[in-house]
Amino acid sequence: MGTLFMVGIAIAAIGGIWLLILAFKESFIWGIGFIIVPFVSLIFVVLNWGKTWKPFLINVIGGALIFAGYTTTMPDLYELEMLTQAQEEITRQLKNGEITQQQAQTEQLKIVQAMAGGEKYVSSFDRQEIAPERPLGYTLRSAEPEKETLSDSEKKAIQKERIEQAIRNESKYKKIVKANDRKKGFVVIHADDASKYVGEEIKVTMKKGQVRSGVLVDTGKNTLLVERRTRSGRYSFNLETKKIKKIEVNTWLN
């Protein structure tokens, strides 16, 4: 709640405690009745108005501030409808694979905070498009040589866009698998053709026997960037093509 609400609680508490002290000073029975018996406090105030009007007035002022703070901080019906629509949009994006579970939880927390504080909810998706974190060891690849005039921020933006596109391709692949009965399987491909399968699931066997599997995020001049996602986080492998024995891509068999 807002500051007005909290100030009202403090003022009302001062008035209530003052009245309770006066009741116990009058007699022990009045004090106990003030605490546990309904309406005894009002009867005590009326019968002893000469000495209770000041704390009673403070209590009333505190109650008024509480009511004013509550009504001004709670969102109106229009805002509640907008927050409900925002919640539905987050659920839809999460279901379609457009955002991650962590991003959805962050937005839901912002909605709860907006409802509790009477603030306007502003979606992170309205300010900027969500982009995944940059994997370690990422090598930028472009169809044309990079211009020397590109700044570091522009290069990072290009890298994020390529990673985002790879993740979108993976999400589309998962939807297709659920919607169709077509079978997929691993097929051996040449390293020179790897760029055609960005966003696809691949399995790379190294000459020393190690096997790296995950999503092909990007290809460089002599490298492949493979990203593997688990519950504990994301792991990136920047593999040199000269050390690769075999590359297999999970693609349609028919």
pLDDT of residue 127: 45
**Domains along the chain with CATH numbers:** 3-73 (no CATH), 77-127 (no CATH), 152-252 (2.30.30.100)
What is the phi/psi pair of residue 227, to 5°?
A: -120, 130
pTM over cut 0.85: no
| Interatomic CA distance for residues 237 and 220, integer angstroms | 13
pLDDT of residue 43: 92
How many angstroms separate the Cα of 72 from the Cα of each of 6, 9, 10, 35?
Answer: 13, 15, 18, 31
| Cβ within 8 Å of residue 10, ≥6 positions away | 62
pLDDT of residue 46: 92
pLDDT tens sequence across 146-196: 445 777 788 778 877 878 777 777 666 666 655 555 677 888 988 888 888
DSSP H stretches of helix in the chain: 3-26, 28-36, 40-47, 49-73, 77-95, 101-117, 124-127, 152-179
pLDDT tens sequence across 89-113: 777 877 777 778 778 778 777 776 7
